[in-house]
Structure 1
Amino acid sequence: MKIAHAPVSSSEASTPASQTPYRTAFGILGVTSASHLLNDMIQSLMIAVYPIFKVGLHLSYWQIGFVTLAYQVTASLLQPLIGRYTDRRPQPYSLPLAMLFSFCGLFALSRAHGFLALIGAAMLVGVGSSVFHPETSRVARLASGGRHGLAQSIFQVGGNAGSAIGPLLAALIVVPNGQGSIVWFTIAALLAMILLWHVSWWYEDQIARRKRSRGATHASPLNMRVVAPVIGILMVLMFSKYFYTVSITNYLIFYLIEKFGISMRAAQLHLFMFLGAVALGTLFGGPLGDRIGRKAVIWFSILGAAPFTMILPDANLTVTTVLIVLIGLIVSSAFSAILVYAQELMPGRVGMVSGLFFGFAFGLGGIGAATLGWMADHFGIAAVYRLCAWLPLLGIVAVFLPRPATAVDSTRDR
């Protein structure tokens, strides 16, 4: 059965086409969030079992970082290109295809017995993500009913919840049963394919309805002298956020084991707590941006984490546990606000903007993983956290962001 779209009342139907309101389709947002959960659970599972690959395949920290680089760069390079193409020619049925790539990547991951095979498996998962994120982000905006921050937060919280669940499942299933048990998680990819097939039906119907009511629409030309500096500021903020975040997601397990001597399972549970806090922070960040303004949320989210990141390298285990939760809550609230801010800055280019920012995030994650892995090999894992503690201070550049409405009005060539 197809998922029904949000109904439009007779009063809505009589509204001029250019101003036709659409209600928030919470059912669709829930399904896209659930599929995002499954997609990102697969990604975080791959990262969480790095210690198994490191021991089993005799890998260095640099090689572990390079695996992440292969995955992230594959995703980041393709996403803006896919987003730009689908802005012009939406591809509803690319959604289940994305999860087919992830299915193949998981299967290859469970059978990888060498460094190159591991890289190939990671790249397959990366291709899946590159197709998944631009189109599902567009679906979330279509289903928003004008509540764009809320819609992106619902969509994003699924991904962050999946990222939190991955390490927990790794600790409970993969660690006791070995690398081969990763194949069991192909069931998650199959379930996501089923969910996304239904979303594709809804998406295709929405495209047809909007074409009938509005006719062909074209993105307005942009004044790049105005847009480019603002995008540059947002990219600096993304750099600060994701370089710090990757230091936690990739190396927290190793840091806790080395510094405090706790077990791998206990370290994975700490990573689960951090990623759970990230999911919770994401859920509140978007609606808060709708209410008080996206610039305020961006400002607080990145710069506000600085006091806690500065304390972390010298904290004991108990304080470290509290700090990683606080840092996860604060830092994670920015992404939905940044993404919607950029979408408002560049109207009519939802796919390209989503692909650019998701892709840039993945690319930063990959470069950060490789760079920080090299640092950990040469200077120790503790040095990584002492250096990264300063990154949130880059949030000060948010003061140069214009108000979103002003930015949107001035981006159109006159």
Structure 2
Amino acid sequence: METTLTEETKAMASKAAQQTAFSILIALSFTHLLNDTLQSLIPAIYPLVRESLHLNYSQIGLITLTFQMSASLLQPLVGLYTDRKPQPYSLAIGMSFTLLGLISLAFAHSFVMVLVSVCLTGIGSAVFHPEASRLAYMASGGRHGMAQSLFQVGGNAGSSLGPLLAALIIAPLGQFHVIWFSVAALLAIVVMLNISKWYKANTHRLKPKKVVQQLDQSLLPKRTVILSLGILLILVFSKYFYMASMTSYYTFYLIDRFHVSVQSAQVYLFIFLFAVAAGTFIGGPVGDKIGRKYVIWISILGVAPFSLLLPHANLMWTAILSVFIGVILSSAFSAILVYAQELVPGKVGMIAGLFFGLAFGMGGVGSALLGKLADATSITYVYQVCAYLPLIGLLTGFLPDLEKWKKK
């Protein structure tokens, strides 16, 4: 009888723990949605600031570079530090920087002030992403792909909402009305403070160092791990260079080639980014079932036929192709991130910081270089060049099959 009661108690406790973890994942996804909605306002207002401040494409690229580099350079350092010393309340601190950046952006009437504003927002992102990704890993219950996808889909849904909200509010009313979005930042801080309490109470879920060392010994040879990480970083380069062409210049491409209005262009951008959100949600769970290597294969290389057709399509087919590109390409990141975390166990925060940082960095560098290319040639030529980037996905063939190594 006592044994039965003990088993029932354990089962109830296990069920309660799973429900708590799932609620944390939902809350993390929601804060990621708010965080990335606010960040996506930056490229969404590019047409406005380009006109009001008389900027060229190179300066637009420099704004993106400043934002992305402030986010990318700090993220691996934040992840490395918090692997050693977890910081439960860092999420709210990061969002506070984003809040300052938003307020500054609303009042920015010079190119330098715009750069300062996006830099503050980038710092907020650098603090948020590594710790939030670690929290998703902690709350996953072993379903790491699903957890990362749920976390990521919130961010990508937020990224898709930014242009739509900009089209409805900022485009007709003006840049100053960015300040209304500070309410979303305050809401995110409140939710993050509640998540931090769970984080603080559940730090025991992090594996002790002795276990990590044992796991390290059972993985692939060091040379194979380094080579695999190098390939993953190149794949991230391919993905985010192409994503930079879409997030930073897609509205300009549509305006220049098809003569649509700014608001219409932002709606088309929303359609693309919504497809990105859908693809992100699909990628993680599919990776858990069929293997992450296969998802990486499909998501990078599978974009190539659609990216090659895009520069030659009319407006309707451009919108349709952008949906396929968004869904397929975005399914890669969750798979790449979890694959890398399995390559280097015990370094969840550092790996998350490295890959989130590289994603932001590649997006920034790509935006700056593509802006230069657009000024020197044309915005259409940029899309003709970027069409070949997904072919780099062929390198996925050199990645080891982790599932086979786990069985050895």
Q: CA deviation at 1:115?
A: 1.0
Aligned counterpart, 2:353: 355
Q: In structure 1, the residue corresponding to 2:36 is in which secondary structure?
A: helix
Alpha-carbon contact 1:289-1:296 (below 8 Å) kept: yes
Q: CA deviation at 1:11?
A: 3.8
Q: 1:168 aligns with which of 164, 168, 173?
A: 164
Aligned counterpart, 2:61: 65
Take 1:151 and 1:249, find their aligned partners in 2: how far apart are those partners?
25
1:227-284 deviation per Cα after TM superposition (whole angstroms, max 9, x unaligned): 2100000011111111111100100000000000111111100000000000000011
1:112-138 deviation per Cα after TM superposition (whole angstroms, max 9, x unaligned): 111111111010000000000000001
Deviates more, 1:218-227 or 1:382-391: 218-227
Q: In structure 2, the residue corresponding to 1:182 is in which secondary structure?
A: helix
Query: 1:5-404 residue pairs with structure 2 within 5 A?
Result: 10-11=9-10, 23=18, 25-207=21-203, 209-210=204-205, 217=210, 219-220=212-213, 224-404=222-402
Q: In structure 2, the residue corresponding to 1:91 is in which secondary structure?
A: coil
In structure 2, give the amino acid aligned to 1:289: G
In structure 2, give the amino acid aligned to 1:169: L
Take 2:399 and 2:208, find their aligned partners in 1: how far apart are those partners?
34
In structure 2, give the amino acid aligned to 1:318: M
Q: How many residue pairs were aligned?
A: 395
Q: In structure 1, the residue corresponding to 2:54 is in which secondary structure?
A: coil
1:3-33 deviation per Cα after TM superposition (whole angstroms, max 9, x unaligned): xxxxx97447999xxxxx9636211111000
Q: CA deviation at 1:224?
A: 3.7
Q: In structure 2, the residue corresponding to 1:187 is in which secondary structure?
A: helix
In structure 2, give the amino acid aligned to 1:328: G
Take 2:8 and 2:255, find their aligned partners in 1: how far apart are those partners?
58
Alpha-carbon contact 1:305-1:327 (below 8 Å) kept: yes
Gap runs ≥5 in structure 1: 1-7, 16-20
Aligned counterpart, 1:5: none
Gap runs ≥5 in structure 2: 1-6
In structure 2, give the amino acid aligned to 1:32: L
Take 1:121 and 1:54, find their aligned partners in 2: how far apart are those partners?
16
TM-score between the two structures when normalised by the length of structure 1: 0.92
In structure 1, give the amino acid aligned to 2:232: L
Take 2:200 and 2:168, find their aligned partners in 1: how far apart are those partners?
39
Question: Structure 1 9/134 Cα, relative in aligned 2: closer, same or farther at 3 Å?
Answer: farther
RMSD: 2.0
In structure 2, give the amino acid aligned to 1:299: W
Q: In structure 1, the residue corresponding to 2:141 is in which secondary structure?
A: coil
Take 1:235 and 1:301, find their aligned partners in 2: how far apart are those partners?
15
Deviates more, 1:219-228 or 1:266-275: 219-228
Question: Structure 1 190/308 Cα, relative in aligned 2: closer, same or farther at 3 Å?
Answer: same
Alpha-carbon contact 2:145-2:285 (below 8 Å) kept: yes
In structure 2, give the amino acid aligned to 1:68: T
Take 2:8 and 2:353, find their aligned partners in 1: how far apart are those partners?
33
1:141-181 deviation per Cα after TM superposition (whole angstroms, max 9, x unaligned): 11101110000000000000000000000000001111110
Alpha-carbon contact 1:22-1:146 (below 8 Å) kept: no
Q: In structure 1, the residue corresponding to 2:18 is in which secondary structure?
A: coil
Aligned counterpart, 2:3: none
Q: In structure 2, the residue corresponding to 1:90 is in which secondary structure?
A: coil
Take 1:210 and 1:334, find their aligned partners in 2: how far apart are those partners?
27
Alpha-carbon contact 2:139-2:147 (below 8 Å) kept: yes
Alpha-carbon contact 2:291-2:403 (below 8 Å) kept: no
Take 1:235 and 1:138, find their aligned partners in 2: how far apart are those partners?
20
Aligned counterpart, 1:18: none
Higher helix content, 1 or 2: 2
In structure 1, give the amino acid aligned to 2:135: V
Alpha-carbon contact 1:110-1:181 (below 8 Å) kept: yes
Take 1:13 and 1:154, find their aligned partners in 2: how far apart are those partners?
25
